[in-house]
Chains A and B, each alone.
Chain A
Amino acid sequence: GENVEQHPSTLSVQEGDSAVIKCTYSDSASNYFPWYKQELGKGPQLIIDIRSNVGEKKDQRIAVTLNKTAKHFSLHITETQPEDSAVYFCAASIEDSNYQLIWGAGTKLIIKP
């Protein structure tokens, strides 16, 4: 079955710098890769996703890149702000009638003022 590995487990960056979180997946059939952000005391919330027919997607300060050959995808956050501090989860799935998200272990992002 699918397995998703996420690194690093903790990432501390200076406010204004960029942050990059990486995930690798094992099942080459996976074709949908969402990223979720979990703030303290809340459930995870989708921030960006990408499908296997594109290599990169951007939304303001957030971008996701996908390398299907290497089976890895990354979340890039530029110009980090204090409100970016949270736990970020990547996931992978096969979009079919029985799709199930397989989750990474999460990355705690700390933005230092």
Chain B
Amino acid sequence: KAGVTQTPRYLIKTRGQQVTLSCSPISGHRSVSWYQQTPGQGLQFLFEYFSETQRNKGNFPGRFSGRQFSNSRSEMNVSTLELGDSALYLCASSSHTLGGEAFFGQGTRLTVV
């Protein structure tokens, strides 16, 4: 079956702009999590959506928001972009049955100039 698809793969934005990233999970998966990964850093958890509801949230400012649609596809939005927002943004989908493996997409590389 198809894996997790993230679009776009690469993005260049200017400070102050906003950006929307998209994630299509594996068919049948109802949970989508978003992570920020900066060079040499680990996975910083942004938020998780399950059946269109935000279930968990990391420690990021309100400029970072997301949503999930009825088909489980998810979008992440960052407003008023800052240089420090430059990172690889990863999404992971899971069926969330017990022991549900998290499947990651290849990520969206965001560069803020």
Contact = CB atoms under 8 A, between A and B. Distances in A.
Interface in A75-113: 89, 95, 98-101, 103-106
Contacts of A98: 55-56
Majority-rule SS of A interface residues: loop
Contacts of A103: 42-43, 45
Contact of A89 (B4, B42, B101, B107): B42
Contacts of B98: 95
Interface in B11-62: 33, 41-43, 45, 48, 55-56
B104 A43 contact: yes
Contacts, number: 45
A36 B102 CA distance: 10
A44 B104 contact: yes
Interface in A37-57: 41-46, 49, 51
A9 B28 CA distance: 36
B87 to A, nearest CB: 13
Interface string B77-102: 00000000000001010001011011
Interface residues of B, number: 20
B99 A95 contact: yes
Contacts of B65: none
B7 interface: no
B111 interface: no
Nearest to B100: A99
B33 to A, nearest CB: 8
Of listed A42, A101, A104, residue having the most chain B CB within 10 A: A101
A42 B101 CA distance: 17
B105 interface: yes
Contacts of A106: 41-43
Nearest to A42: B106
A104 B99 contact: no
Given A49-B99, A99-B96, A101-B102, A43 B41 contact: no
Q: Which 6 A-B pairs have the closest CB atoms?
A: A43-B104, A105-B42, A106-B42, A103-B43, A100-B56, A46-B101
